[in-house]
Structure 1
């Protein structure tokens, strides 16, 4: 089997076990503003946007790889608690206790795969699509807000008008997409995707004002989750879907507290979506007109 240089970033921001070997590469995201040093590669080295991690989430790690990771054939991205399930067994979702070192054996190192063979048949590896009870755009608006989405859509159509039909197909006609900003693809394709992705997000950033709600401030990370499948669909990429392997930990009262607080934060945001829209209208009339949002 031909040897290929594969690097799958494991984006992390907290202490805990992560896979670290010739394939998996832990990257501490948001390191420039962090008070801890996880002892792994930081996203604050070289050309970086580490300071934007609060709103870009794992995409600051993606950006670092785009600008700084050299001498690789394939690039991927996963999370400290979400990996691609590359094992031969079929599961809907697996949850492994990370406080036991045995969890590592469940994360199959993809070096056993013949990447040359996989990427002869496919262009990209993505997580299995998640199905919603509404369209992709309705789900995104419910979680992130109407105005933010409309700004995103207008920016896409402004910069890449050829994407119009793809936007309609993926965002309005479909009720399923792969999520989590997870992927594995050839380096050349990755660079094309990253350039396209950040050209859109940077333009959106010029017009968008952050929500006062912490959950919604991850807006650019959320946008990345729907932009990746849009890019794949428009470019007719052959997708190899793999399930997600969830890595969790046992009972932790602090984590439980954060989870409960996060739930109410999201609830407050969603209940106040209409009011947030009004605030956008009051504070940013320059992007609104009788025909809708204009960028």
Structure 2
């Protein structure tokens, strides 16, 4: 099953095995979708964990053979420049990608600076980053080489989107949330601005890369169909990505 994280009503694609999931549903008006505040959940943390409350819910409350997460405005598809639902991959097409790969992920993003510098500019403080590294080193020392390797490079998978077999999905979630819940004990969110308070969602985008490097998974990268972003803006982002890839 591929779950579509959403915090508001949207045009649900008429695609088999795509299911809308209301994230941050705790205390909010019901949208008529599955909700992330049932069963074992962290829905109340949505302000800081973003779509990770949906990721956690899928991990803890579903038994699908294959598990995926996309967003109400971002889907795996045939072109980064497209806004059409007709260019979104069907569930069967997504399954086909796994015949030659372990996991389906978005295209690779390239930064002007390395991943650590990009993160510090974007949403994180040096103190939080150092604490994150300390936690990884203490809890999962076998990951610290991959951690340092990832944050020294200028490329990354982003968006917290994936599709893979359940055992891979669940193994990643177990590792990810062990790190984030430990970090959560040390972070004073009151010192962060409203954007930075989405901290754990931002960090998880980067930590997925660390997990993938360590576990040496075979990846199929595909384009993202963003159904809301104007084409002009998509072209600007594409040109920026090419510039950073070849000239940074």
Using the size of structure 1 for normalisation, the TM-score is 0.74
Alpha-carbon distance in structure 1 between the residues aligned to 2:57 and 2:92? 23
Give a deviation string over 1:96-117, Cα, whole Å, max 9, x none. Answer: 2xxxxxx43232313245x3x5
Name 2:243's counterpart in structure 1: none
Q: Which sits farther off after the overlay, 74-83 or 21-30?
A: 21-30
Alpha-carbon distance in structure 1 between the residues aligned to 2:82 and 2:99? 31
Given that 1:23 and 1:111 are in contact with CA atoms closer than 8 Å, whether structure 2 keeps it comes out as no
Given that 1:177 and 1:226 are in contact with CA atoms closer than 8 Å, whether structure 2 keeps it comes out as yes
* Residue of 241, 256, 265 corresponding to 2:221: 241
Structure 1 position 76, deviation (Å): 0.8
Name 1:209's counterpart in structure 2: 188
Which ranges of 4 or more aligned residues in structure 1 deviate by more than 4 Å?
none
Given that 1:193 and 1:231 are in contact with CA atoms closer than 8 Å, whether structure 2 keeps it comes out as yes
Name 1:147's counterpart in structure 2: 127
Name 2:67's counterpart in structure 1: 75
Structure 1 counterpart SS, 2:185: helix
Name 1:10's counterpart in structure 2: 4
Structure 1 counterpart SS, 2:70: strand
Alpha-carbon distance in structure 2 between the residues aligned to 1:244 and 1:131? 15
Structure 2 counterpart SS, 1:240: strand
Structure 2 counterpart SS, 1:243: strand
Q: Which sits farther off after the overlay, 25-34 or 11-20?
A: 11-20
Alpha-carbon distance in structure 2 between the residues aligned to 1:218 and 1:15? 21
Alpha-carbon distance in structure 1 between the residues aligned to 2:214 and 2:93? 31
Alpha-carbon distance in structure 2 between the residues aligned to 1:126 and 1:197? 17
Structure 2: 5+ residue stretches without partners: 231-248
Name 1:100's counterpart in structure 2: none
Structure-2 change in CA distance of 1:249 and 1:233 (3 Å): closer
Structure 1 counterpart SS, 2:104: strand
Using the size of structure 2 for normalisation, the TM-score is 0.87
Structure 1: 5+ residue stretches without partners: 1-6, 97-102, 251-295
Ranked by relative contact order (alpha carbons within 8 Å, sequence separation 6 or more), the top structure is 2
Structure 2 counterpart SS, 1:203: helix
Name 2:17's counterpart in structure 1: 23
Name 1:3's counterpart in structure 2: none
1:45-124 matched pairs, under 5 angstroms: 45-70=38-63, 72-85=64-77, 87=78, 91=79, 93-96=80-83, 103-113=84-94, 115=95, 118-124=97-103
Name 1:220's counterpart in structure 2: 200
Given that 1:20 and 1:26 are in contact with CA atoms closer than 8 Å, whether structure 2 keeps it comes out as no
Note if 1:181 corresponds to 2:124. no
Alpha-carbon distance in structure 2 between the residues aligned to 1:191 and 1:227? 15
Alpha-carbon distance in structure 2 between the residues aligned to 1:249 and 1:242? 18
Structure 1 counterpart SS, 2:26: helix
Larger Rg: 1
RMSD: 1.6
Name 1:276's counterpart in structure 2: none
Structure 1 position 218, deviation (Å): 0.3
Alpha-carbon distance in structure 2 between the residues aligned to 1:25 and 1:148? 35
Give a deviation string over 1:31-72, Cα, whole Å, max 9, x none. Answer: 0032x22110000010000000000000000000011012x1
